[in-house]
Structure 1
Amino acid sequence: MTHACVAKGKKEIAVEQRELKYSDDDVVVQVECGGICGSDIHYYHEGRAGLSVIKQPLVLGHEFVGRIFQAPAASGLEPGQKVAINPSQPCGQCEYCRAGKQNACATMRFMGSAQFTPHVNGGFAQYVVVPAKQCVAYDEQVPASVMAVAEPTAVVIHALNVAGSIVGKRVLVMGAGPIGALAIAAASASGAAEIVAFDPSERCRRIAVEMGADAAVDASDRAAVAHYGENR
């Protein structure tokens, strides 16, 4: 049995005890820490995240890390080993998957998502059964609370790779929430000459500067926006 954080609809969430079904051939992860994504917040406040509507109880969470509780020898994973979980589950059969572009899978399933029915349960639970290929081992010395942001950080790094080299370039980050803040840190580490963040929240603007932005502008301040958009 395992306790899990289950969303059942708008403003309807509970911690429930659930049966954990697994065999000796499965990988079981004991969850240590998880990040709360915007989609998790939308599921709670609205009962949906975009077009993904909760139609049955859904275990939330896709930004999580833990320790291997059980793993078959063939997996190469050891009990007690620290792992971050890749929450994406590509089909492996579509043209994108066959071309090695699993991130663009036409029927991608994603942990903690109500996109498909039955829904794909996530990682906000004591124990989670996951395929070995979704487990990424990491150094014992890295705190779980830090590694829990590995998934959104990977998204940001991918975006930078798609953009190409930003060494010596000016970068504008629209929105300085968690993803924006990680984008600022990644851009700074990648050699950007100047980083400007736009956000209406004073708190987010302050965090943006702490994360490496050279300036953080109130998006509702038209004069400031015009200054950075036209004169820099």
Structure 2
Amino acid sequence: MEQICRASVLHGAKDLRLEERTLGFPGPTELQIAVRTTGLCGSDLHYYHHYRNGDIQVREPLSLGHESAGIVVVVGSQIESFKKGDRVALEVGLPCGQCERCKEGRYNVCPELSFRGSAKSCPHFQGTLQASINHPASWCHKLPDHVSFDVGAILEPLGVAIHASRRAQIVQESSTLVLGAGPVGLLCAAMAKVAGSSNVVIADIQQERVNFATQHGFAQVGFTVPAKRGRKIDEKLQIAKETAALATEKIPNGTGSTGGFDVVIECTGVEACTQAAIYATRPGGKVMIVGMGNPVQTLPISAAALREVDILGTFRYASTYPEAVELVSGNNPLLPDLGKLVTHRFSGLDNVERAFEMAAKTKDEDGNLVLKVIVQSCGT
């Protein structure tokens, strides 16, 4: 039986419209989910402000949103593992399941992957800023009753952090530097702690974000990166070296700038930070590229090659939701309260535009820090 559901739909840059869509009965292996929370992230903001995300151009009206949780309202005929009323987090990337990458378990880099709220595939896979969606049950993950829907939505960016920590192979008593104290950077710092890093340092150009990170247990130490810019490449690299030196001074036990960090996780996408990441990594260490910024950057490759620094890319996540659910369900003393990342909430699809405008800011009108913006009760 079909129903009419409301959706927030992007038709152009800053052109959001509330529309009604027809939603059919879920297929035999699907669940119909009433969306309760959707978090806004950087890719959503790019689409909203520019009607594109990097090289990906929106080609048809698109509902944004992919960090989501909700309630099961209808269960497909072949599904026995879920029931009406179950609370679930949604994993919104659907791979082909047949290619070599999928068979390796690296379905996040499946060439045929469709991702909700992304314009990469066409027809676009519509996002979660709508009242209800039908979604494959195999990509829904049950949430315990004591885990909020807000935290359920945060499991998606937490997956990015889990994936990065796995790729970095963080070990006990290691040192980790995180460049960028936005939501993903904060989560990467938290996961470095959980994975065993005993010295987690976080850096950002915004002092308030650094303070948040250290005050709420996301990192042990933080520092503010000076806002310096060079015009020529030699000037830029010198500034990067200075930033790396500031970071390595934060490592305890007198390691100093002669050593460096075991792992540096770059979460800004800014060229200067990627350069600094290489200089701040110890010989034989790893640089994790998490941030998506300028696709063409000038990097000190010889500084990496001569010290055997591995530069590793990461893209979204694969098989992280079970670990994420277990983490937020338990009482791991190393995991900070992820709910504190949500600094602003907007209720209902009528307020999606306001939510996007807030998410683009670093501080609200009262001077409060803006980190994660959530749209709640998308069905109203």
- Alignment TM class, shorter chain as reference: over 0.9
CA RMSD between the two structures:
1.8
1:51 equivalenced with 2:55 (yes/no): yes
- Cα contact 2:26–2:75 (8 A) shared by 1: no
The whole-number CA distance in structure 1 between the counterparts of 2:143 and 2:15 is 35
The whole-number CA distance in structure 1 between the counterparts of 2:182 and 2:76 is 39
2:247 corresponds to: 228
Of residues 100, 112, 117, the one that matches 2:122 is 117
2:211 corresponds to: 206
Q: Secondary structure at the match of 2:176?
A: strand
The whole-number CA distance in structure 1 between the counterparts of 2:132 and 2:168 is 37
The whole-number CA distance in structure 2 between the counterparts of 1:2 and 1:110 is 21
The whole-number CA distance in structure 2 between the counterparts of 1:214 and 1:24 is 48
Supply the AA of the counterpart residue of 2:157: P
2:17 corresponds to: 14
Supply the AA of the counterpart residue of 1:174: L
The whole-number CA distance in structure 1 between the counterparts of 2:156 and 2:217 is 18
1:169 corresponds to: 174
After superposition, the Cα gap between the structure-2 partners of 1:182 and 1:54, relative to the gap in structure 1 and judged at 3 Å, is: same
After superposition, the Cα gap between the structure-2 partners of 1:23 and 1:191, relative to the gap in structure 1 and judged at 3 Å, is: closer
- Cα contact 2:5–2:23 (8 A) shared by 1: yes
Runs of 4+ in 1 over 3 A off after TM superposition: 221-225
- Cα contact 1:168–1:192 (8 A) shared by 2: yes
5+ unaligned residues in a row in structure 1: which ranges? Answer: none
- Cα contact 1:184–1:211 (8 A) shared by 2: no
1:72 corresponds to: 76
CA-CA distance at 1:37 after TM superposition: 1.1
Q: Secondary structure at the match of 1:149?
A: helix
The whole-number CA distance in structure 1 between the counterparts of 2:112 and 2:105 is 15
Q: Secondary structure at the match of 1:33?
A: strand
CA-CA distance at 1:165 after TM superposition: 3.2
1:38 equivalenced with 2:42 (yes/no): yes
Q: Secondary structure at the match of 1:56?
A: coil
Supply the AA of the counterpart residue of 1:7: L
Q: Secondary structure at the match of 2:17?
A: strand
The whole-number CA distance in structure 1 between the counterparts of 2:137 and 2:147 is 21
Deviations 1:162-209 (A, max 9, x none): 211331111010111000011111112222121111211122212221
Of residues 85, 90, 93, the one that matches 1:88 is 93
Supply the AA of the counterpart residue of 1:193: S
CA-CA distance at 1:224 after TM superposition: 5.8
- Cα contact 1:173–1:196 (8 A) shared by 2: yes
The whole-number CA distance in structure 1 between the counterparts of 2:56 and 2:212 is 30
Deviations 1:138-157 (A, max 9, x none): 21221111111001101211
The whole-number CA distance in structure 2 between the counterparts of 1:48 and 1:224 is 32
Supply the AA of the counterpart residue of 1:215: V
Of residues 219, 224, 228, the one that matches 1:218 is 224
Q: Which has the larger radius of gyration?
A: 2
The whole-number CA distance in structure 2 between the counterparts of 1:94 and 1:144 is 33
- Cα contact 1:208–1:216 (8 A) shared by 2: yes
CA-CA distance at 1:225 after TM superposition: 4.2
- 1:176-195 to structure 2, matched below 5 A, reads 176-195=181-200
- Cα contact 1:2–1:18 (8 A) shared by 2: yes
Q: TM-score, normalised by structure 1?
A: 0.93
CA-CA distance at 1:100 after TM superposition: 3.4
Q: Secondary structure at the match of 2:219?
A: coil
- Aligned residue pairs, count: 232
CA-CA distance at 1:69 after TM superposition: 0.7
Q: Secondary structure at the match of 2:23?
A: coil
The whole-number CA distance in structure 2 between the counterparts of 1:212 and 1:132 is 33
Of residues 133, 136, 142, the one that matches 1:137 is 142
Supply the AA of the counterpart residue of 1:106: P
